[in-house]
């Protein structure tokens, strides 16, 4: 009888391992694809509509704030952006609504559109 008991636990462990591996393998490429998509989509000149010019130039490693004439390094971790301002880091959540870049932080949500020259 004890062998039968071990067999049930062994079978259960095998099923759990298969399910974990199957779910885990599918999640990594999806997360990687989302991350790569964000990295590509945020690059460019952006405006918030408050002026006739771009207000941000997002590059691969920094964000140039046109009005300030300053660049700040940033880091992306999934949908979170960390901008390293001189006075300290700021965190925001990045999302898109079609072609509109949305950055939500503790002050609210900021909307940006690709600036067309």
When pLDDT is averaged across residues 44-53 and rounded to a whole number, the result is: 93
C-alpha–C-alpha distance, residues 51 and 113, integer Å:
12
The pLDDT-based confidence of 20 (bands split at 50, 70, 90) is low
For the stretch 59-86, what's the b/e string if a residue is b when 16 or more beta carbons lie within 10 angstroms of its beta carbon? eeeebbebeeeeeeebeeeeeebebeee
Q: Does residue 95 surpass a pLDDT of 90?
A: yes
Return the pLDDT at 116: 86
Of the candidates 70, 81, 77, 75, the residue with the CA atom closest to the CA atom of residue 112? 81
Ranges of each domain in the chain: 1-41, 43-117
């Amino acid at each position: 009888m004890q062998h039968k008991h071990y067999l049930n636990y062994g079978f259960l462990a095998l099923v759990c391992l298969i399910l974990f591996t199957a779910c885990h393998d599918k999640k990594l490429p999806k997360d990687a694809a989302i991350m790569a998509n964000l990295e590509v989509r945020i690059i460019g000149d952006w405006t918030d509509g408050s002026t006739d010019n771009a207000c941000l130039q997002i590059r691969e490693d920094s964000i140039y704030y046109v009005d300030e004439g300053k660049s700040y390094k940033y880091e992306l971790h999934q949908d979170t952006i960390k901008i390293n301002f001189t006075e300290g880091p700021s965190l925001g959540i990045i999302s898109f609504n079609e072609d509109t870049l949305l950055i939500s932080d503790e002050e609210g949500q900021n909307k940006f559109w690709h600036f067309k020259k």
